[in-house]
Amino acid sequence: MKNVEIAPAKGKLGILLVGLGAVSTTTIAGVLAIRKGLAKPIGSLTQMGTIRLGKRTEGRSPKIKDTVPLADLDNIVFGGWDIFAENSYEAARTAGVLESSLLDKIKPELEAIKPMSAVFDQRYVKRLDGPNVKKGKNKMDLAQQLRADIRNFKKDNGLDRLVMVWCGSTEVFMKESAAHQSIEAFEKALEANDPAIPSSMVYTYAALMEEVPYANGAPNLSVDIPAMMALAQQQKMPVVGKDFKTGQTWMKTVIAPGIKARLLGIEGWYSTNILGNRDGEVLDDPESFKSKEVSKLGVLEHILQPHLYPDLYGHMHHVVRINYYPPRGDNKEGWDNIDIFGWMGYPMQIKIDFLCRDSILAAPIVLDLALFMDLAQRCNMSGIQEWLSFYWKSPMTAPGLYPEHDLFIQLMKLKNTLRHLKGEEMITHLGAEYYD
Ligand SMILES: NC(=O)c1ccc[n+]([C@@H]2O[C@H](COP(=O)([O-])OP(=O)(O)OC[C@H]3O[C@@H](n4cnc5c(N)ncnc54)[C@H](O)[C@@H]3O)[C@@H](O)[C@H]2O)c1
């Protein structure tokens, strides 16, 4: 098989993070600590994962980072925007995820990463307000200011390439409207300060116009509208989203395929969480929660395919709750009660109590996405990167295509894409050749 031409990962990669909150600062601090040998990149597929190449008998399982050319952690420069002016050291202290003893060892590097002023409007994130916000005559003007920020960041840091990852707060639930249908309509709406354009879309537009790949870590509508799809194609840029798959939903996409594989039925799945970080506070607003709820609810429907298995999943109750509970900070607790039934309909229950750390689970995902999106741009891959569905609660797909949610299929898809890029054989798991 012929391999795809991949431009080398030469020079420096800039990772622009929108929002320097818990997830972003945990990602940045982690990369800085790993560079200094203070920690290991646990949870990161790009840093620790291997990939089997060829037949099982060949014994070839190199690390992913030795198979495809990814940016080296030493060649990454972080930057970003936030509505609060605290530098990354202060923001990491506020987030309260990592111990001060670790943060103090990388204090000067963290302090040097100061947020650029943000594009923000409280209309879209009701529970937040902050001082470090740009002023402009309209949303197009704000987009131009972001574009200047991107160019200056690239120039000032001597960067070769950039990627942008939205790690900002979850915005209110919005539906696609006329302003989102074409690049032209979108640009007119920017000029007219149309309320149909939330802050996140202003960043997305600026990124794509500056030829920066864009990944959307939150569930809100930002890049998944026809105008942005057209812009990504026009600019030949990869885009991907949405909503990092970290705690409860990750667990759901592990457990649900297992139940379905055994043709066991599900009567109900009740999920509830308590969390006390700023994300929890933002999600305490019903309009932001609605974005999250829609993203979390879609998963089971797609994995279980009730239309194909009406007797097993046709009458399932699926409920998701998030409760803001400050004492827990970033250390979320998620409970799942799953009412299942087996042979002749006999009922059983599965209970999961997951004491997780939201940002500890999210940080390696941010790093992997940044590195893989940079790889995608060097492979000239543009538009939706479905092979990165592995990382998302609501993977974006082409119109009319249902998303693949099963974590193990997603991983196979990701690794087969890497094999394809390298001209290696796809692994089908047929395995008949071993018995010829
Ligand atoms: N941690 C997880 O497991 C996880 C999983 C899935 C999705 N997410 C999403 O990732 C995002 C970040 O989560 P977090 O825990 O870091 O939240 P956080 O509240 O700690 O950080 C978000 C930051 O974004 C900033 N912000 C908000 N709007 C902005 C704007 N328009 N421009 C610039 N900055 C802006 C806020 O001031 C805040 O500092 C949230 O949307 C969250 O829902 C997190």
Cβ–Cβ contacts within 10 Å for residue 156, how many? Answer: 11
Mapped onto helix, strand or coil, the DSSP state of residue 324 is strand
Q: How far is the CA of 58 from the centre of ligand 1 (A)?
A: 44
pLDDT single digits (tens) 146-183: 999 999 999 999 999 999 999 999 999 999 999 999 99
Say which residue the tokens 């979850």 belong to. Answer: 170
CB 172 within 8 A of CB 92: no
Mean pLDDT of the chain, nearest integer:
94
Give 352's strand partners: 336
Rounded distance between C-alpha atoms, residue 283 and residue 322, angstroms: 8
Which residue CA neighbors atom 2 of ligand 1 most closely?
Answer: 358
Judged on CB neighbours under 10 Å (0-12, 13-18, 19+), 287 is middle
Rounded distance between C-alpha atoms, residue 296 and residue 249, angstroms: 7
Judged on CB neighbours under 10 Å (0-12, 13-18, 19+), 420 is middle
pLDDT exceeds cutoff 90 at 287? no
CB 281 within 8 A of CB 328: no
Q: How far is the CA of 291 from the centre of ligand 1 (A)?
A: 13
Rounded distance between C-alpha atoms, residue 218 and residue 167, angstroms: 7
Distance of CA 31 to the CA centre of its chain: 17
Residue 77: φ, ψ to 5°: -125, 130
Hey, which of 16, 17, 20, 23 would you mutate to test ligand 1's pocket, going by the most ligand atoms within 8 Å of its Cβ?
23
pLDDT of residue 330: 84
Hey, which of 26, 98, 169 would you mutate to test ligand 1's pocket, going by the most ligand atoms within 8 Å of its Cβ?
169
Q: How far is the CA of 61 from the centre of ligand 1 (A)?
A: 36
pLDDT of residue 90: 97
Whole-prediction pTM value?
0.96
Q: Which residue has the higher pLDDT, 69 or 2?
A: 69
pLDDT exceeds cutoff 80 at 296? no
Query: CA-based diameter of the chain, in Å?
Result: 72
Cβ–Cβ contacts within 10 Å for residue 175, how many? Answer: 7
Q: How far is the CA of 95 from the centre of ligand 1 (A)?
A: 11
Which pLDDT band holds residue 202 (cuts at 50, 70, 90)?
Answer: very high
Strand order in the sheet with 265-275: 317-324, 265-275, 333-341, 347-355
Mean predicted confidence (pLDDT) in 232-238: 97
Rounded distance between C-alpha atoms, residue 251 and residue 407, angstroms: 9
Distance of CA 212 to the CA centre of its chain: 16
Mean predicted confidence (pLDDT) in 5-30: 97
pLDDT single digits (tens) 162-172: 999 999 999 99
pLDDT of residue 52: 95
| Per-residue burial over 239-254, b = 16 or more CB atoms within 10 Å of its CB, e = otherwise | bbbbbbbbbbbbbbbe
- Dihedral (CA of 129, 135, 138, 142) sign: negative
Which pLDDT band holds residue 1 (cuts at 50, 70, 90)?
Answer: low
Query: Ligand 1: residues whose CB is within 6 Å?
Result: 18-23, 81-84, 95, 118-120, 125, 128, 130, 167-170, 199, 217-218, 243-244, 246-247, 277-279, 282, 358-359, 361-362
Question: Which amino acid, one-letter code, is at 68?
Answer: V
| Closest ligand 1 atom to 199 CA | 31
pLDDT of residue 435: 83
Residue 298: φ, ψ to 5°: -65, -30
pLDDT of residue 28: 98
Query: Which tokens belong to 78?
Result: 């972080």
Mapped onto helix, strand or coil, the DSSP state of residue 75 is helix
pLDDT single digits (tens) 367-400: 999 999 999 999 999 999 999 999 999 999 998 8
Rounded distance between C-alpha atoms, residue 366 and residue 113, angstroms: 17
Mean predicted confidence (pLDDT) in 344-350: 98
Q: What is the DSSP string of 80-108?
A: EEESS---HHHHHHHHT-S-HHHHHHTHH
pLDDT of residue 78: 98
Query: Which tokens belong to 186?
Result: 């979108």
Rounded distance between C-alpha atoms, residue 307 and residue 313, angstroms: 8
C-alpha separations of 268 from 3, 46, 315, 338, 344 in Å: 46, 36, 8, 6, 17
Where do runs of H (alpha helix) occur along 239-285? Answer: 248-261, 278-283
Q: How far is the CA of 180 from the centre of ligand 1 (A)?
A: 23
Among 234, 197, 217, 150, smallest CA distance to 361 is for 217
pLDDT of residue 373: 98
